[in-house]
Amino acid sequence: MENPAAAAPAADPSPVFLLLSFGTLVAALLGAAHRLGLLYRLMHKVDKASIRHGGESVAAVLRAHGVRFVFTLVGGHISPLLVASEKLGIRVVDTRHEVTAVFAADAVARLTGTVGVAAVTAGPGLTNTVTAVKNAQVAQSPVLLLGGAASTLLQKRGALQAIDQMSLFRPLCKFCASVRRVRDIVPTLRAAIAAAQSGTPEEKKKVLPSCLTPRYLENCLANLFAGAWEPQPEGPLPLHIPLASPQQVQRCVEIVSRAKKPLLVIGSQALLPPTPAARLRAAVETLGVPCFLGGMARGLLGQNHRLHIRQNRGAALKKADVVILAGAVCDFRLSYGRVLSRRSRIIVVNRNRADMLLNSDIFWKPQEAVQGDIGSFMLKLVEGLQGQTWAPDWLEELREADRHKEQTFREKAAMSVGQHLNPVRVLQAVEEALPDNALLVVDGGDFVATAAYLVQPRGPLRWLDPGAFGTLGVGAGFALGAKLSQPDTEVWCLFGDGAFGYSLMEFDTFVRHKIPVMALVGNDAGWTQISREQVPRLGSNVACGLAYTDYHKAVMGLGARGLLLSGKSEDQVAEVLREGQRQCRDGHPVVVNILIGRTDFRDGSISM
């Protein structure tokens, strides 16, 4: 018997089902068309007659943002943007290593308050910058790194220098983008530069422009260049800078007003725009609180200011009843917060919340944590404390401790260290010879750490060190960026002999670009900061030994001027320094190779 249900014809699909299916198909087609750029190209055509290239768009945005220098090591992927930058009056400065280019951009960013720019080629050109990018991230410097890339359609096909660059740099960058269409260059660069200077400028911005794809892929080419040359705004976007609330400032005013022994610790972040260094200095002087200065804040109060306490920071922090950490972070530099007394009331101010509260769950607790710009906060704090004064005995107690410590330095300077020069005595001579307009770049371990106690920057933004990452090799790049940013300034570089090995070849760069800098190499023939700890603990000096190399002769081979200071010229230190200054002022980069012995000045210091 036949089954009626089986014999019945299939029911027609419902109109609703057909409509949904049709809609889904249309949506899929539109999505595909959008991804392929077909919809955009209906309204924006490719100008096939144009001879312009994407490098011109990059250069135009840089010029609109006031960029004066692009640091680079040339490569085919980035040639268009370098040529275009030069045509627009942006100075292109080529170095001998990509890491130096980023260090130079970092220095420009720190000293000018604008974004520093470096451009490097794809693959190894980009990977060579990783250390400098990380150093800039930790130091909170706004740096824009422009990296070349292999053609988009040749990615993962074995193209020259093609690697997954984005995965490598995302952990290091606040803003990381790959530009795949010419029309996206301008808005992406503007967004990157705004991100670099907004909030906490601690992570570097990086844009990777793609190069041309093969001609046979006509659709990709059309999408790449469609609408490329239509007018777009190129100038700066608004910046976001966090500010303390009036309620937070008032609570801090009340805390500080009740202090008997207040102390101020100022870090690099306090020197960030928008507050000029001169206004910050005036605020600190009006506040009248003794202060320690670190990083880029060194020199904020000039030389020998009565409020600037330079020695015995740990002991002072233990005695203070109120401590203001203005951009200072409780990392290894403050013993992770252990140096703070639990009896002290701590005010911490920082743009970055993570830095602000670092280790606060272990070794210390803030009374008031203020996420905001430090310069603006200090101006408001001083306004709220107008007329407030503190008993002079607290300041005098700290200054007396300073004087006692400096007397011990003079005694150590008088000690004999055998056939070579006493580094403490040499650095005291540097302090006496340093001109008022000098800018100090420091790159090294033991010699530079000793200099931090003995040599004073003469004003704000006159000290460049690596920052919290502790990177060796920043010297040449920092000096390059510093001298270009401030051509009338005398740039003095203090190198350890180990660190100088990273920068030696860049004296060719200084000679070619006519960049006169003065480099002092503390040559003790070893990685002394490491051996100070390694030998007592492990009983071996393995891998810590160097030689008393003739660095002054090496740079002469590169076209620079070289001078030697040794134990035989102990009474000529000041004279040789003056001769180096004279040659530097005549337009020559100079290296003074200073053969030094070892002292117990930094015994007990650690290197990890």
Summarised one tens digit per residue, pLDDT across range 550-559 is 999 999 999 9
C-alpha dihedral sign at 367, 369, 370, 374: positive
Find the mean pLDDT for residues 504-525. 97
Outline where DSSP puts E strands in 192-344.
204-209, 262-266, 291-293, 322-326
Residues 260, 134, single domain; the answer is no
pLDDT interval class at 533 (50, 70, 90)? confident
One domain for residues 75 and 179: yes
First to last CA, the chain: 92
What is the span of the domain harbouring residue 419?
A: 415-595
Distance (Å, rounded) from C-alpha 87 to C-alpha 92? 10
Residue 448 maps to a domain: yes
Reported confidence tier of residue 208, pLDDT bands at 50, 70, 90: very low
Q: Give the count of domains, the chain.
A: 3
User: Does residue 273 belong to any structural domain of this protein?
Assistant: yes
329-351 mean pLDDT: 95
Q: Is residue 175 part of a domain?
A: yes
- Identify which of 264, 413, 257, 279 has the alpha carbon closest to the alpha carbon of residue 326: 264
Query: Phi then psi for 593, rounded to 5 degrees?
Result: -85, 110
Q: Does the pLDDT at position 213 exceed 60?
A: no
Q: What's the chain's average pLDDT?
A: 87
Residue 14 has pLDDT above 80, yes or no: no
9 belongs to a structural domain = no
Do the Cβ atoms of 272 and 375 come closer than 8 Å? Answer: yes
Are 439 and 545 in a shared domain? yes
Give the pLDDT band of residue 222 (cuts 50, 70, 90): low
DSSP-based three-state secondary structure for 219: helix
Chain position carrying tokens 């051509």? 487
What type of residue is 326?
Answer: A
Q: In this structure, what token pair is assigned to residue 456?
A: 């004073």
pLDDT band at 211; cut points 50, 70, 90: very low
Residue 455 lies in a domain: yes
CATH number for the domain harbouring residue 324: 3.40.50.1220
The pLDDT assigned to 235 comes to 87
Final residue of a domain: which of 193, 225, 257? 225
- Examine the domain organization and report whether 375 and 442 are in the same domain: no
Residues 489, 573, single domain; the answer is yes
Q: Region 525-547: what's the mean pLDDT?
A: 87
Categorize the per-residue pLDDT at 217 as very low, low, confident or very high, splitting at 50, 70 and 90: very low
Report the C-alpha gap between 23 and 11 in whole angstroms.
22
Q: Looking at 194, 225, 256, which one is the last position of a domain?
A: 225
| Cross-sheet strand order for the sheet of 116-120 | 91-94, 69-73, 116-120, 143-147, 204-209, 173-179
User: 607 pLDDT exceeds 70?
Assistant: no
Pairing verdict, β 116-120 and 173-179: unpaired
CA distance 153 to 139: 36
Tokens 């040794």 correspond to 566
By CB atoms closer than 10 A (0-12, 13-18, 19+), residue 481 is: buried
Residue 169 and residue 80 share a domain? yes
Among the three residues 397, 429, 463, which one is the final residue of a domain in this structure?
397
Q: Containing H/E element for 84?
A: helix 79-87
36, 334, 599 from 539: Cα distances, Å: 66, 29, 19
On whether the CB atoms of residues 480 and 515 are closer than 8 A, the answer is yes
Confidence of residue 212 (pLDDT cuts 50, 70, 90): very low
Same domain assignment for residues 359 and 429: no
CA distance 224 to 226: 6
CATH number at residue 165: 3.40.50.970
pLDDT at 5: 47
Token representation of residue 436: 């008022």
Kindly tell me if the per-residue pLDDT of 336 is higher than 60.
yes
Please report which confidence band the pLDDT of residue 215 belongs to, taking 50, 70 and 90 as the band edges.
very low
Strand 345-350: give its sheet, edge to edge. 291-293, 262-266, 322-326, 345-350, 368-371
- Of the candidates 325, 322, 339, 320, which has an alpha carbon nearest to the alpha carbon of residue 371? 325
Residue 480 in 3-state DSSP?
A: helix
Same domain membership, residue 439 and residue 581: yes
DSSP state of 334: G
Who contacts 584 (Cβ-Cβ below 8 Å, separation ≥6)?
A: 490, 516, 517, 518, 590
Residue 45 resides in a domain: no
If one counts every other C-beta atom within 10 angstroms of the C-beta of residue 274, the result is: 11
Do 310 and 369 lie in one domain? The reply is: yes
Residue 381 located in a structural domain: yes
Query: Can the peptide bond before residue 274 be classed as cis, meaning omega within 30 degrees of 0?
Result: yes
Rg (CA), the chain: 29
Beta bridge partners of 272: none
pTM equals 0.84
Same domain, 321 and 389: yes
In a domain? residue 342: yes
User: Does the structure show a pLDDT above 60 at 293?
Assistant: yes
| Same-domain pairing of 118 and 257 | no
Identify the pLDDT of residue 529.
87
Residues sharing a CB contact under 8 Å with residue 360, sequence separation 6 or more, in sequence order? 330, 337, 366, 369
Which token pair is 99? 């890491």
CA distance 411 to 453: 14
Quickly state the pLDDT bin for 549 (edges 50, 70, 90): very high
In this predicted structure, the answer to whether residue 10 has a pLDDT above a threshold of 80 is no
Instruction: Among 78-82, 112-116, 405-409, 592-596, name the one with the lowest average pLDDT.
Output: 78-82
Q: Which residue has the tokens 């203001």?
A: 324
Rounded to whole angstroms, the Cα distance separating 590 from 247 reads: 53
Mean pLDDT on 177-189:
84
Three-class SS state of 351:
coil
Answer yes or no: do 519 and 378 share one domain: no
